[in-house]
Amino acid sequence: MGVKTVVTIREVARAAEVSIATVSRVFNDSASVTAETSRRVRAAAQRLDYWPHTGARSLTTSRTHAIGVLLPDLFGEFFSEVIRGIDHGARAEQLQILVSSSHAHTDDIVAAARSLRGRIDGLIAMVPEKGSSARVRQIARRFPVVLLNPRQRVEGCASVAISNFDGAFAVVQHLIAIGHYEIAILKGPDGNVDAEERLRGYQEALAAAGLRPRPALEIDGDFTESAGYRGGAALLAGPTRPTAVFACNDYMAIGLLGALNDAGVDVPGDMAVAGFDDIAMARYVSPPLTTVHVDAYELGERAARALISRLQAPQGTRPENAVLPATLVVRSSCGSSQVVAADAREGFTSSRRSRSFRS
Amino acid sequence: MGVKTVVTIREVARAAEVSIATVSRVFNDSASVTAETSRRVRAAAQRLDYWPHTGARSLTTSRTHAIGVLLPDLFGEFFSEVIRGIDHGARAEQLQILVSSSHAHTDDIVAAARSLRGRIDGLIAMVPEKGSSARVRQIARRFPVVLLNPRQRVEGCASVAISNFDGAFAVVQHLIAIGHYEIAILKGPDGNVDAEERLRGYQEALAAAGLRPRPALEIDGDFTESAGYRGGAALLAGPTRPTAVFACNDYMAIGLLGALNDAGVDVPGDMAVAGFDDIAMARYVSPPLTTVHVDAYELGERAARALISRLQAPQGTRPENAVLPATLVVRSSCGSSQVVAADAREGFTSSRRSRSFRS
DNA sequence: TTGTATGCGTTATCAT
DNA sequence: ATGATAACGCATACAA
């Protein structure tokens, strides 16, 4: 009572009248142990309520059966799904996951990785800053690393990315296809990889259709709902009012929807709106949002699997670099009547998103 | 290249021409070390790119600076916010967090806790099953435990809970106050603590208002959107159509909204609908959902703080048992014109929920 | 099949 | 102020 009893392998050995080596063997059912001694050992362990010390074990085996996960943030559906995917992928191999967030800067990430030395077998990390290759390689010398959505591939690191460019290209192409040619963009924050790639997709889609870029229609944003609202107000007040707006993420699209609604602008009648990410509520806003679906769960699961395969692969195996598709999801916020609406497939009875909220 | 170099404290000692004890002292800036030797050691460590082995360190100090988090699931906003809260609370004390999910059954939880022995200093767990006290105490003998929303208090364990009962009571009381007396409930899954408490709150609110219970208006559900849809269909087909429905969570309320919409039933004109949880999209559905706000983030943060205080407290200190309020959030799905709508405070320019989705 | 002894990488207790 | 050296709890090579 109150005092934490610490039963070690030694007391079990004494109680079972064997050596600690034998107890160890029983618990790792490694070598040959008599059924009788095994029984005695297990009985003693049970009686003493012995819990093996995983930390000590991994010191000798140099295997922790844990992987580290370093993310810039934990806020929102995206990161939560990434973690869920990793957790699921890791569970298959009985790996524990050690998460740590608020690591936006590369130095932070290296420091965090450092503090993980000796407690993880490998690392999954999202490192958003430019020019981080050298320091990432420094981490990769210590343990296998899988990069999430890396800015560029790093030698010796596996990676799993989402094709932001293709997704943005597809959504803008869609807007053009249904007749728009004055298309604005609500940009993401400066320095953000995803934001940059989405902007590039927008620009190239315009170029591919022979439309010239319009700097006045490239509005600054930072992925927040309020930035979307402000961006909408700015567009309405500006000299040239676009007929369509591509918001670089759904939160901004939702804010934009709010601004347009407040201003009495009909969507999609007067203006088409598209987002990116396909967050859960994208279907529920009014009108339901045309957007680009990003499978964060799969991103995580694939990363976990990639890491596992690197943990098991012999030295020198080439790391894999996967890219997941980002697919256009047409709903009604762009009013494309000629395309079959995705919502037709999303009845309430479908299993999509219908899992329990709290178990 | 390819070969993972393992620099230990020993090589640093050799390179700096000191003993390993001195190197250790430098890195823990514990005892007195000459500025000169300290410099030499740090230089050597830097040159060799020495990363201390946290695992080995915690074997001698018997402190891991990590805490375990055991949850039944990682799906959805609730758990994700709990983790974010824990992460934030833990960061203040430089604690890493080791999360593991899919632990719904008590045996699972004990097994998981067991496998964490030696790698964590304490544990935050949600253990939903009944009759688990004895086994939870078994865990608590090993390290400090904080329970999330426990079925009952467990001797020696701290806990943080959400007052499901009060929240449900308040929302039903609200429905009664605005004139409803035929109030149905969409229940949560059998055996779920939250579901049971919310049902109890509903029943007692009716009783407190002198309304008699109507078993026909207690509809089975399982916290999924599709259950909400089916429940709505069942209510419309039933003998007595209620004028208001309290769904035990927001997902079911949203499904219900869908069913009513499909059937041409106006909300709140023909029927009032209320939910529970106040998930992010509750404001965005149409009509915006009156619900009960649950602060999952705070639940997590408080749990982390409670654990930290137990880690630092002397043996025998009484663990704290906190209960967080669940507060009514009135929007328009119940049509209570006499109450000031919460949305008036929720403009797009407010800071609520306006943080970045992806960093 | 079982026991003895060494080592994993560190901290901590002694000396000096 | 610094250096030997014994733990920490376990796995394992080797011996018996």
Q: For the segment B128-165, what is each residue's pLDDT rounded down to a tens digit?
A: 888 899 999 999 999 999 999 999 999 999 999 999 99
Distance separating alpha carbons of residues A277 and A298, to the nearest angstrom: 13
Spanning CA of A177 to C1' of D4, the rounded length in angstroms is: 79
Distance separating alpha carbons of residues B359 and B345, to the nearest angstrom: 26
Q: For the segment B16-65, what is each residue's pLDDT rounded down to a tens digit?
A: 999 999 999 999 977 689 999 999 999 999 999 999 999 999 999 999 99
Task: Compute the average pLDDT of residues B116-123.
Answer: 97
pLDDT band at residue B4 under the 50/70/90 scheme? low
Residue of B327, B51, B309, B345 whose CA lies nearest to B166:
B327
Of A64, A80, A353, the CB nearest to B225: A353
Output the pLDDT for position B67: 98
Burial class (CB in 10 A: 0-12, 13-18, 19+), A217: buried
Contact yes or no for A74 and B84 at CB 8 A: yes
Chain A residues close to B64, C-beta within 8 Å: 55, 119
Residue of higher predicted confidence among A152 and A290: A290
Q: What would the two tokens of residue A86 be?
A: 């990793």
Q: What would the two tokens of residue A341 be?
A: 């609406």
Distance separating alpha carbons of residues A41 and A16, to the nearest angstrom: 5
Angle among Cα B317, B322, B324 to the nearest 5 degrees reads: 165
Nearest-Cα residue of chain B relative to residue A278: B357
Spanning CA of B57 to C1' of C9, the rounded length in angstroms is: 7
Task: Compute the average pLDDT of residues B92-114.
Answer: 95
Nearest-Cα residue of chain A relative to residue B66: A98
Chain B residues close to A56, C-beta within 8 Å: 59, 118
Interface of B with A in 269-328 (CB under 8 A): 277, 279-281, 284-286, 315-316
Residue A181, min C-alpha distance to chain B (Å): 29
Angle among Cα B245, B249, B254 to the nearest 5 degrees reads: 70
Chain B residues close to A251, C-beta within 8 Å: 356-357
Q: What is the mean pLDDT of chain A?
A: 90
Chain A residues close to B192, C-beta within 8 Å: 358-359
Residue of higher predicted confidence among B37 and B339: B37
Chain B residues close to A49, C-beta within 8 Å: 138, 141
Output the pLDDT for position A336: 65
Spanning CA of B28 to C1' of D5, the rounded length in angstroms is: 20
Spanning CA of B206 to C1' of C3, the rounded length in angstroms is: 72
Chain B residues close to A51, C-beta within 8 Å: 114, 117, 142
What share of chain A has pLDDT > 70, as a percent? 92
State whether residue B356 sits within 8 Å of chain A by CB. Answer: yes
Least confident of A339-348, B213-222, B281-290: A339-348
pLDDT(A304) > 50: yes
* Contact, A350 CB vs strand C, < 7 Å: no
pLDDT(A338) > 60: no
Q: What would the two tokens of residue A188 be?
A: 């993401």
State whether residue B353 sits within 8 Å of chain A by CB. Answer: yes
Distance separating alpha carbons of residues A133 and B287, to the nearest angstrom: 49
Distance separating alpha carbons of residues B359 and B226, to the nearest angstrom: 32
DSSP codes, B265-322? --TTTT-EEE-SB--GGGGTSSSPPBEEE--HHHHHHHHHHHHHHHHHSPTTPPPPEE
Q: Which nucleotide is closest to the Cα of A60 by its C1'?
A: C8
Q: For the segment B211-269, what is each residue's pLDDT rounded down to a tens digit?
A: 999 999 999 999 999 999 999 999 999 998 999 999 999 999 999 999 999 999 999 99
Interface of A with B in 51-80 (CB under 8 A): 51-59, 64, 66, 72-80
Chain B residues close to A353, C-beta within 8 Å: 225
* Contact, B53 CB vs strand C, < 7 Å: yes
Domains of chain A: 9-61 (1.10.260.40), 66-162+296-323 (3.40.50.2300), 164-293+326-356 (3.40.50.2300)
Output the pLDDT for position B16: 96
Q: For the segment B258-282, what is each residue's pLDDT rounded down to a tens digit?
A: 999 999 999 999 999 999 999 988 9
Output the pLDDT for position A348: 38
Strand C nucleotides with an atom less than 7 Å from a protein beta carbon: 1-5, 7-13
pLDDT(B344) > 60: no
CB atoms within 10 A of CB B324: 16
Residue B210, min C-alpha distance to chain A (Å): 32
Nearest-Cα residue of chain B relative to residue A60: B56
Spanning CA of B130 to C1' of C5, the rounded length in angstroms is: 48
In sequence order, the 6+-apart residues with CB closer than 8 A to the CB of B109 are B70, B103, B125, B127, B132, B135, B139
Task: Compute the average pLDDT of residues A267-286.
Answer: 93
Contact yes or no for B54 and A119 at CB 8 A: yes
Task: Compute the average pLDDT of residues A72-90.
Answer: 95
Q: Which residue has the tokens 């191999």?
A: A93
| A355 backbone φψ class: left, alpha, beta (φ>0; ψ -120 to 50) | beta
Distance separating alpha carbons of residues A356 and A82, to the nearest angstrom: 18
Output the pLDDT for position B5: 59
State whether residue A340 sits within 8 Å of chain B by CB. Answer: no
Output the pLDDT for position A228: 96
Least confident of B169-183, B245-259, B343-357: B343-357
Distance separating alpha carbons of residues A212 and B129, to the nearest angstrom: 62
Task: Compute the average pLDDT of residues B307-313.
Answer: 94
Spanning CA of B335 to C1' of D11, the rounded length in angstroms is: 68
pLDDT(B353) > 60: no
Gyration radius (Cα) of chain B, Å: 26
Contact yes or no for A356 and B143 at CB 8 A: no
Contact yes or no for A284 and B285 at CB 8 A: yes
Strand D nucleotides with an atom less than 7 Å from a protein beta carbon: 1-5, 7-13
Distance separating alpha carbons of residues A87 and A95, to the nearest angstrom: 8
Interface of B with A in 203-232 (CB under 8 A): 222-226, 228-229
State whether residue B189 sits within 8 Å of chain A by CB. Answer: yes
Task: Compute the average pLDDT of residues B289-295.
Answer: 97
* Contact, A58 CB vs strand C, < 7 Å: no
> What is the separation, in whole angstroms, between the first and last Cα of chain B?
33
CA B69, B73, B76, B77: dihedral to nearest 10 degrees?
-20
Task: Compute the average pLDDT of residues A240-248.
Answer: 96
pLDDT band at residue A129 under the 50/70/90 scheme? confident
Chain A residues close to B139, C-beta within 8 Å: none
Contact yes or no for A101 and B87 at CB 8 A: yes
Output the pLDDT for position B336: 64
In this complex, which residue's CA is closest to the C1' atom of nucleotide D5?
A: B21
* Contact, A55 CB vs strand C, < 7 Å: no
**Long-range interactions of B150-159: CB distance < 8 A, separation 24+:** B150/B193, B151/B127, B151/B193, B153/B321, B156/B319, B157/B319, B158/B306, B158/B307, B158/B310, B158/B319, B158/B320, B158/B321, B159/B306, B159/B319, B159/B321, B159/B322
pLDDT band at residue A359 under the 50/70/90 scheme? very low
* Contact, B27 CB vs strand C, < 7 Å: yes
Residue A177's beta-bridge partner residues? none
DSSP codes, A266-334? -TTTT-EEE-SB--GGGGTSSSPPBEEE--HHHHHHHHHHHHHHHHHSPTTPPPPEEEE--EEE--STT
Output the pLDDT for position B339: 42
In this complex, which residue's CA is closest to the C1' atom of nucleotide C5?
A: A21
Output the pLDDT for position B29: 74
pLDDT band at residue A354 under the 50/70/90 scheme? very low
Output the pLDDT for position B349: 35
Residue B97, min C-alpha distance to chain A (Å): 6
Residues B125, B114 contacting (CB under 8 angstroms): no
Spanning CA of B22 to C1' of C15, the rounded length in angstroms is: 15
Output the pLDDT for position B199: 98
pLDDT(A53) > 50: yes
